[in-house]
Structure 1
């Protein structure tokens, strides 16, 4: 667990170890963590607050700390774009003779913590050596921030110059692109680029996707899956025969967020199957990272001196409100471009301008409206069931069906698929629709239902972003020129791609195909009843018995092939009892 920062009252500096290395004082509790305030950043805060700040100051959230005490607290007024002071220490006598210069204060702070910094460095370097010893190749996932810069320098100490893999999300600040090139050139790190000499990036437009999926939020971060993970998978497919034989060093730290608080020093990729993440500064605090940067004189991104606490994509919804405010001030033209997208979404979804101005878009939850597609016709023999549908025509349908079995297609108009598991799928394009038929053995119905519904969900809602490519350890899913392609030479039909969620599950609306072995028809006489028609009398009788056991009034007709139930009973409830009847 990360310890609180303490303040040496004798030397007037923060300490991150047990004792001050200058005087041996244990100090007193100061804050959970600290970020130094740079001179340019201080000038910005002074302008916003209307209060002069001491030269050597730190910040923790909405607290500005000087000489180990809270000098000032403030509140963000996002609507009026200002900072409002809440508490100001003023000119009270602090007991120190004179104000400390920023550079001198940092020099003394390093001196007071040098033993702790040396131990953190030694531990991290040894960890990198040990963690990567079983891998033939090592790369650094370089994001352009202070954390990945520190990891790069630690890796250089441990292994030499490790290649940097910078993923261009196309949403980086201009300062970040400049810094990545300068850092690589200054310290001699190879910078990985694709065959065209460009950074690895997703070949999609963020703003167009915002129209389809809605703007990203902390609850639906589709942007990370598309613009970060997909390019990494493409790099792995292009350069690594065995992705499990490579280690990827990252600057992820547990104190950055609740989600990252659960990260281990070594993690297997969850979204990018086969990837191994090695996180040597996983347990470092913000102040430890900053002091290491100052101690080693490591170059940093200019964004930090402008007031940014973290570096990332400029429209990122996970940016804290204060940093959201700062980026609007320092990069107003970029923010205006994104604000237009947010306002357009707000108008279409009956949201006010305040929803955007207050930053409530960051908390957006998608509607997830489901458009259900049910069988138009069901036929049942002694051993088989045949389902017939009309579904929307999507170009991705034929491609996704390849993962089920051997496909025979006729000029992309007609498709026939037969699998080793004994079920068949046939498709015929008829204008804007596809006539779909699914045939399976009754004994295999439940397993086939799950599989077919997942594949049809993927294919009908696919926006061909390639985010799912990370879920295939064989690299069989690729996004090429805006289309998802299934490489049958690599696909072993393990269906692991269907186990991970698809980003369209967080979209505003989606198609859901149901492979239900019954039809639901409202009462023709206008009574508040529904007729449920089954393939066989036996299934109908079992379902009726289960409804009766729940105290539901049921009428049985035609020996059980048709039952009548109250109209308030939902289709989901009927489906649940039908599946239990088939299993039992």
Structure 2
């Protein structure tokens, strides 16, 4: 047996903090409790349930509970009935390369289920408490060790071949296994490093890596409770949450004095938000907006209409229909959307919202109550009141910002609100079915629940992969969801990231050089080129946003002039910017002028008619027809604020700004 080494102190991981753990549990009464440290049944003080951040715990649906039961059986055999369908399970979504849930069984974590990108399947890893629950069960995937090895195994030593008495012959490399003694007591959990057939051919070596010792098994009595019962005993806390949210909503309405809208997505969070606003405004002085992006689940579209009838807001519901062509045209032009490249939201969702608000409130602003929660992401954890740079006429407010998912679901059960039926089929989040923010675990559900939609998306991704000559696994491992593949995913899959560098289909800045001289009249000159030819008819009007634009059709170039610089743009994509002598010529001024010109050209040649820039311009100087930007030179002040709302600038070509900045940094100005 290998020598016992002192246990190494593990480095703390960068665990995200999005909000406090708000789950308490009374083990005497078998009751999960939200927010309060006092049990409403026995009146005893209770403790927080130890959870892994970010603490967004939720009820396990019957679908998920069934999946977990089958996963336990698939791992340790059909006789491992640790969990029953009528047990109350909670799932705590934690960080991983795809999707991982911490499984909370009567107030204690028994381990995790993790969606593995290499095998595209769920993997179960029981912790010390979970392993102890296997005692007394007839299990598979076991390895029996001799008594002399037990002490070392408990302290974390690996299972060595000489110390093995017997093992399940079906163990394969990588399997999570139970390490047992001669009396079949589970003493630890391990990960097999060999197939069992290989073990019999070897006399020494490591058979399995021990990952955790099992807890001592203690028989605990559990009172089985229904969710209706759990809601009843949490009612006081739910009333407190509701009262606080209603006060917040009313204060916002009184302070802002703006028309009120509810952003309704068909998901659980927007459902609760809608119910709260309905209570806060019994006079019904609000609108409800649902944007059908053209890539919504058909069940969601039907649910929105049906829930409007059941909940009595049918007369307030505005459905903005967007053609699916908007998404697929953007996909064809820019490739699949990514978590770090979400052009889809800008074109198919935010732009329609901006247009509806502008039309509905005659160009004014509105306050929009949104179902956003801090436990969902870092970005959403920042504030409960915000404005989106793409929708300046909307002030967003979340009355459920500090609620976790369990609070949301208990509120829904309490109020008996009709929720989207997709939640009962395994979907944790409801959004567009193509959303790159979804885990591959959810796309696995999509494959089974909506095979036609799944096939359509996969075919589009595979086509892009072939066009860009990308490696195999681009779809299977979910790599299409990123422009820059995260390190934790590339490490798990052992990827060579150079294989994923692509040539762009769209026009790009291919070359730029900045020259500085002691010339009195023209101290700075910029020469550069775009990667493709430029249709000058397409960009001529847009360049009014840069300066006075003159199109010389005979010589096929456009000249743009202002007090500080002049630009010549040729049809082959080459350009030249000449800065005139001025007392206050700074690097910032040069950078701003270059950015303005380059981004204006890119916006013009790649416009897909989303009209976000139209809504951003307060002077109404911009209009778009057939993907061509037209600028009214009498109204345009060249403020360039419209660029802040353009996804071509903020998403598709956001790296151009850094290229310009770096080139300027390397240039020595006279």
For the aligned pair, the TM-score class normalised by the smaller chain equals: 0.7 to 0.9
Note the C-alpha offset of 1:126: 1.0
Q: Where does residue 3 of structure 1 map in the other structure?
A: 21
Q: Helix, strand or coil for the counterpart of 2:473? A: helix
Q: Show the 5 A alignment for 1:404-553.
A: 404-405=546-547, 407=549, 419=562, 421=563, 423-424=565-566, 433=572, 440-443=579-582, 447=589, 450-460=592-602, 462-465=605-608, 466=610, 468-469=612-613, 471-473=616-618, 476-477=621-622, 479-486=624-631, 491-499=636-644, 502-503=647-648, 507=652
Q: Where does residue 356 of structure 1 map in the other structure?
A: 475
The answer on 1:260 being equivalent to 2:380 is: yes
Q: Helix, strand or coil for the counterpart of 1:3? A: coil
Note the C-alpha offset of 1:154: 0.3
Q: Which has the higher contact order (CA 8 A, sep 6+)?
A: 1
Note the C-alpha offset of 1:120: 0.7
Note the C-alpha offset of 1:400: 1.8
The answer on 1:115 being equivalent to 2:236 is: yes
Note the C-alpha offset of 1:256: 0.5
Q: 1:249 & 1:417 partners in 2: Cα distance?
A: 44
Q: Show the 5 A alignment for 1:57-76.
A: 57-61=89-93, 62-71=101-110, 73-76=112-115
Note the C-alpha offset of 1:250: 0.5
Q: Where does residue 215 of structure 1 map in the other structure?
A: 336
Q: 2:442 & 2:249 partners in 1: Cα distance?
A: 32
* Cα deviation digits, residues 393-425 of structure 1 (max 9, x gap): 235412321223455668997766554x45555
Cα distance, 1:224–1:415 mapped onto 2, change above 3 Å = same
Note the C-alpha offset of 1:304: 0.6
Q: Where does residue 239 of structure 1 map in the other structure?
A: 360
Note the C-alpha offset of 1:474: 5.0
Q: Show the 5 A alignment for 1:372-391.
A: 372-373=510-511, 382-384=520-522
Q: Show the 5 A alignment for 1:21-36.
A: 21-30=40-49, 31=51, 32-36=55-59
Q: 1:210 & 1:144 partners in 2: Cα distance?
A: 24
Note the C-alpha offset of 1:464: 1.0
Between 392-401 and 115-124, the greater mean CA deviation after superposition: 392-401
Length-normalised TM-score, structure 2: 0.67
Note the C-alpha offset of 1:577: 5.8
Q: Which structure 2 segments of 5+ residues have no match?
A: 1-18, 94-100, 138-216, 485-500
Residues 620 and 635, structure 2, Cα contact 8 Å, conserved in 1 = yes
Q: Where does residue 139 of structure 1 map in the other structure?
A: 261
Q: Helix, strand or coil for the counterpart of 1:353? A: coil
* Cα deviation digits, residues 525-545 of structure 1 (max 9, x gap): xxxxxxxxxxxxxxxxxxxxx
Note the C-alpha offset of 1:275: 2.6
Between 302-311 and 159-168, the greater mean CA deviation after superposition: 159-168
Q: Show the 5 A alignment for 1:261-410.
A: 261-262=381-382, 264-365=383-484, 371-373=509-511, 382-384=520-522, 392-394=533-535, 395-405=537-547, 407=549
Q: 2:622 & 2:67 partners in 1: Cα distance?
A: 47
Q: 2:57 & 2:435 partners in 1: Cα distance?
A: 23
Residues 212 and 507, structure 1, Cα contact 8 Å, conserved in 2 = no
Cα distance, 1:486–1:380 mapped onto 2, change above 3 Å = farther
* Cα deviation digits, residues 218-240 of structure 1 (max 9, x gap): 22222222222111222233233
Cα distance, 1:199–1:489 mapped onto 2, change above 3 Å = farther
Cα distance, 1:473–1:368 mapped onto 2, change above 3 Å = farther
* Cα deviation digits, residues 237-282 of structure 1 (max 9, x gap): 3233444x411110111100122122x1111223323431111111
Q: 1:376 & 1:115 partners in 2: Cα distance?
A: 67
Note the C-alpha offset of 1:511: 8.5
Note the C-alpha offset of 1:467: 6.7
Q: Which structure 1 segments of 5+ residues have no match?
A: 516-570
Q: Helix, strand or coil for the counterpart of 1:58? A: strand
Residues 622 and 631, structure 2, Cα contact 8 Å, conserved in 1 = yes
How many equivalent residue pairs?
512
Residues 39 and 305, structure 1, Cα contact 8 Å, conserved in 2 = yes
Cα distance, 1:488–1:155 mapped onto 2, change above 3 Å = farther
RMSD: 3.8
